[in-house]
Amino acid sequence: MRAGLTSLALGLTVAVTGCVLRPPLPADSGARVVDVVASISAWGSILRQLGGAHVHETSIITNPNADPHDYEPTPADGRTIATARLLVTNGIGYDGWAAKAAAANPDRGRVLIDVGKVAGVATGGNPHRWYSPRDVGVVADAITAGLKRVDPLDSAYFDQRRTAFETQGLAAYQRLIDEIRATYGGTAIGASESVVEPLAEALGLRVLTPPAFLKAVSQGTEPSAADKATIDAQIANRQIKVYVFNRQNGTPDVAAQVAAARAHGIPVVAVTETLTPATASFQDWQVAQLQALQAALRRGTGR
């Protein structure tokens, strides 16, 4: 997952809101704990694990029943961001409110990690980067680099946490990705929106749903009648083996497709954009969803 990432590249992808960082915490300060914030819990869980005992992590969006696309930040959110030494935002048009809050509370010492910039995804691209195993590794490296900037005295500790996260925390997650890709690579699936695409690409699954439909549902616009007819035919003719939908972004069209898939004996799998349950770790959440998808693929393909 981390192949090809150089320390030079990581240094370039961690954006800093200013050219001067706060001075390091003093060596005699005892347990050094810095305030770190993530706009969404997917990145917040990773940030908390990588920072360990030396961070106090807060995620702004944590409710698994909320649609992050429609989130309205509160004054308390602004205060939380204002005090952060390190802030992780998703970017790519997903959480523009977080960057605005940071800009409204400038701090030359705050490290800002924009996932879209770190992952090299331009504006207009798919923002759901936590579903890309490759980008999870890239962002984890960028977070570690950022933590070492705000607390250089604990650099060795952060390096150890990064290694443990890769070799232990993500072990089951990576194993399931490898297993699904090896067994079901090339299998056709349907999806409700673009949240599914990064993971499907990593798993080698073919998403037959028209891309314009996926984007329309993700952005809250009306899909075309032609795309809906195409999906109806794919389900009726059982061209897809599994249907995956985002249960945090339901629409009447998606509900109808879910019902049709079930009626035609096509296994249905639900995914979310935030940790589910809210107390889960990133990897436990992802592993549970991968296990559900693996079981659905087994039923749908008969192998």
* Domain range summary for the chain, segments of one domain joined by +: 7-169, 182-301
Residue 113, judged by CB atoms within 10 A of its CB (0-12, 13-18, 19+), counts as buried
Question: Predicted confidence band at 245 (pLDDT cuts at 50, 70, 90)?
Answer: very high
Q: Please list, in sequence order, all residues whose beta carbon lies within 8 angstroms of the beta carbon of residue 98, skipping any fewer than 6 positions away.
A: 39, 60, 73, 81, 87, 89, 90
Q: What is the mean pLDDT of residues 122-128?
A: 92
Q: Using alpha carbons, select from 143, 148, 136, 149 the residue that is nearest to residue 22.
A: 149
Instruction: Say if CB 37 and CB 84 are below 8 A apart.
Output: yes
Q: Which two tokens stand for residue 269?
A: 């799998």
Residue 127, preceding peptide bond in cis (omega within 30° of 0):
no
Domain at 182-301: CATH architecture: 3-Layer(aba) Sandwich (3.40)
- pTM of the shown model: 0.88
pLDDT digits 0-9 by tens, 155-187:
999 999 999 999 999 999 999 999 999 999 999
Q: pLDDT at residue 249 above 90?
A: no
Q: What is the CATH number of domain 7-169?
A: 3.40.50.1980
Instruction: Please determine whether the domains at 7-169 and 182-301 fall in the same fold group of CATH.
Output: yes
Looking at residue 25, the DSSP 8-state letter turns out to be P
Secondary structure of residue 192 in the 3-state scheme: coil
Q: What is the mean pLDDT of residues 77-88?
A: 96
Looking at residue 265, the DSSP 8-state letter turns out to be T
Residue 109, judged by CB atoms within 10 A of its CB (0-12, 13-18, 19+), counts as middle
pLDDT digits 0-9 by tens, 186-203:
999 999 999 999 999 999
